[in-house]
Amino acid sequence: MVQKRQKEGGDKRKSILLVDDLVSNVKLLARHLDGYRLYFALDGATALAVAQESQPDMILLDVMMPDIDGYELCRRLKQNPKTKKIPVVFVTAKNQEDDEEMGLQVGAIDFITKPVNGAILRARIANHLELKEHRDNLVGLLSDKSNELDATYGQLLHAEKLSTLGKLTSSISHEFSSPLFGMEQILTTFHDEEEGAEKKHMLAVCIDECRRLRELIRSMQNFGRPTSSHMGPTDLNQVIVDVLRLCGKTFEKNNILVERNLQKVPLLNAVEDQMKQVVFNLVTNACDAMENNSGRVFVSTSFVKGHVVFTITDNGCGIEPADIQAVFAPFFTTKQEGRGTGLGLSICYGIVTTHKGSIEVRSKPGAGATFVVRIPVMEQK
């Protein structure tokens, strides 16, 4: 048997379930509890059902009831995952210490004796509800923080995996280098001694392929090396050519056409491997933005007002206006789990600003993105 005293729609008031087998007692309590949304139950079974369904903020419970007594009811409420967090306060005529102890043992947080003093009842209820609110907020906060930590830990693991992959690639590249060089030498000897034009041509093709592979391996080794942090004369055009060579196969596989307009630019005083990383991250992002359609990437360099300017434009998915501010923040990624760490652009930002330059992005969703990097040409030290 249950009644709801007030309508719930949009009601922000705290709610209390009053449980007592005597209607007169329920009415008496209700008179002191103006301002709360109240539920009533006159027996244990109903109380359990209402508590589970309505999730009141507190339950005021009579100890002596005919079917399930208050202690047993409290025990059952505390065993049920859906109701165990609702604070229970006993209201009873009994006032012996044993009863209080029993009430607290089964999980109640307080004990109020009849005849009830309205002011004290209201003050205690308000205190308990405030405590509950703080506890709920804290639990929410902790769970948010714990989710954040989980996500960060996952991202760090992924970053660590990428770094291991980098080291692995670099050591495999090293293993490939020597035998490849040996093969190239042997093929060159055969080529030089060969008289037949067709065979000579085929050997020349093999030698060219060996050189191409060696060049690719050299680029990979350079890339895998930890940053030297050594500032020196750096040809940004050469950096771009190296990175594009490294990514050539990926472009081909994804049907991406790369166009370039590399103008004559002065040498930069820069850390070369860091510049490679910037170009590589931007090129990889452009490539990723066009995962499902064949696209175009345009890279250019120019020299404007004492700065070498590098732009990379793609016709991929573009960036939503709401995300554009966030793309340079560490760990911001829209890529599927495991596909991106969200570190690429923040690393670019760090490198570019260390070189006293700037990086910016322009984009329209669906119409691609343009990243512009400007590095000042400083005096060589």
In angstroms, how far apart are the furthest CA atoms of the chain? 118
Q: Applying CB under 6 A, does 341 fall inside the site for ligand ATP?
A: yes
**Which residue among 87, 103, 344, 357 contacts ligand ATP (CB under 6 A)?**
344
Taking the alpha carbons of 11, 14, 19, 22 in that order, is the dihedral positive or negative? negative
CB of 254 to ligand ATP, least distance (A): 14
Cα-to-chain-centroid distance, residue 45: 45
- The Cα–Cα gap between 49 and 17 comes to 11
| Residue in 17, 74, 73, 4 with CA at minimum distance from that of residue 45 | 73
| Token pair 């067709």 in the structure block, residue | 198
Reading phi first (left if > 0) and then psi (alpha if -120 to 50, else beta), residue 101 is in: alpha
CB of 316 to ligand ATP, least distance (A): 5
| Token pair 């209402």 in the structure block, residue | 50
CB of 298 to ligand ATP, least distance (A): 12
Nearest residue (CB) to ligand ATP, 44 versus 340: 340
CB of 247 to Mg ion, least distance (A): 13
> Judged by CB under 6 A, which stretch of 58-66, 239-247, 258-266, 344-352 contacts ligand ATP?
344-352
- The Cα–Cα gap between 279 and 299 comes to 10
Q: Applying CB under 6 A, does 345 fall inside the site for ligand ATP?
A: yes
Q: Of how many residues is the chain composed?
A: 381
Q: Applying CB under 6 A, does 340 fall inside the site for ligand ATP?
A: yes
Nearest residue (CB) to ligand ATP, 153 versus 303: 153
Q: Applying CB under 5 A, does 285 fall inside the site for Mg ion?
A: yes
**Which residue among 344, 349, 357, 375 contacts Mg ion (CB under 5 A)?**
344
CB of 248 to ligand ATP, least distance (A): 18
Write out the binding residues for ligand ATP, residues 309-338 only, by CB under 6 A. Answer: 314, 316-319, 327, 332-335
Q: Is 338 helix (H, G, I), strand (E, B) or coil?
A: coil
- The Cα–Cα gap between 296 and 286 comes to 9
Site string for ligand ATP, 16-55 (x = CB under 6 A): ----------------------------------------
DSSP result, 121-145: HHHHHHHHHHHHHHHHHHHHHHHHH
| Token pair 């044993």 in the structure block, residue | 98
Nearest residue (CB) to ligand ATP, 83 versus 363: 363
Give residues in contact with ligand ATP (CB under 6 A): 281, 285-286, 289, 314, 316-319, 327, 332-335, 340-346, 369
Chain contacts with Mg ion (rule: CB under 5 A):
285, 344
